[in-house]
Amino acid sequence: MTIQATTPAGGETAAPLKLTLYVAGQTPKSVAAIRNLERLCAEHLGPGRYQIDVVDLRSSPQLAREHNIVAIPTLVRQLPVPIQKIIGDLSDTQKVLVSLQLDTLA
C-alpha cells in the first residue's frame, strides 16, 4: 500500500521524503503506527513532500530478512540518505521527528 500526498498547488519541486513502514497485518500497534505516521507527515511536512509505502510482512515475510527488519512496526526513512529506522507505534511525535531528522527538513 502506498500513501502519497498530493502535489501542492504552488508546484513545489523538492524531492519527497520516502518512508517505508513495515507492519504485521491489522494489529493494534500496526494500525496505530500507520495513523500516527499519516498524522505526523500531514502536520509537519505537508502535501507533496512525502511518500509512504506500507509493507505487510504477513503477506511478504521474506522482506523482513531482505530489509533487515527485526521488530514491527518499523519505519524506515529511505530518502534522503542516510537511511534511518525507528521501531514502535510512532506515538512519540518528538522522538520520531528527531530520529528521522524530520524537524530539520520541515
Q: How many domains is the chain partitioned into structurally?
A: 1
**38 found inside a domain:** yes
CATH number at residue 63: 3.40.30.10
**DSSP code of residue 13:** -
**46 found inside a domain:** yes
Task: Tell me the whole-structure pTM to 2 decimals.
Answer: 0.79
SS3 content of the chain, % helix, strand, coil (to 5): 30, 25, 45
pLDDT at residue 9, rounded to an integer = 45
Model confidence pLDDT, tens digit, residues 7-31: 444 444 567 889 999 999 999 999 9
Dihedral sign of CA atoms 52, 74, 82, 104 in order: positive
